[in-house]
Amino acid sequence: MALQHASSGQVIALQHAGEDVTQFSSIALAKTDEIELIRLVLPAGKTMPEHWVKGEITLQCLSGEIAVDAHGRTATLHGGEMLYLAGATPHAVRAVADSVALLTIVLKD
């Protein structure tokens, strides 16, 4: 069964009261030919080893604390903060605390 993505104009809840954020999860909220929106739940200590994607990305920390290694330094995001990375930028991600984030990827062929 294919995952149903949000439709244009649909409201999407990014945070849920009482949610268990100690378990990793990733769900694609919407995807078009140009962008993909992904909600990430990152428990404290969860790491995503260095990787890259062709298109530009933004990572918005909705709650918690997330460390992103890129450009030879570490940027720490707290709830309400966002990071932009140019396409093909190698980066690694680590949840310092239980966190919820919104990842946007600009898709390129």
Q: What confidence tens digit (pLDDT) does each residue in 82-92 have? A: 999 999 999 99
> pLDDT-based confidence at 1, cuts 50/70/90?
very low
Which H or E run contains 54?
Answer: none
Are 16 and 100 in contact by the 8 Å Cβ rule? The answer is no
Instruction: For residues 19 and 47, give the distance between their C-alpha atoms in angstroms, rounded to a whole number.
Output: 20
pTM of the model: 0.89
- Is the model's pLDDT at 61 over the cut of 50? yes
Query: 3-state DSSP helix/strand/coil percent for the chain, to nearest 5?
Result: 0, 55, 45
Closest CA to 37 of 101, 108, 94, 109: 101
- Beta strands 35-42 and 57-70, pairing class: unpaired
What is the pLDDT averaged over residues 66-84?
98
Please provide the average confidence, as pLDDT, over all residues in the chain.
Answer: 92
Domains of the chain: 25-106 (2.60.120.10)
Dihedral, 3, 108, 79, 39 alpha carbons, nearest 10: 10
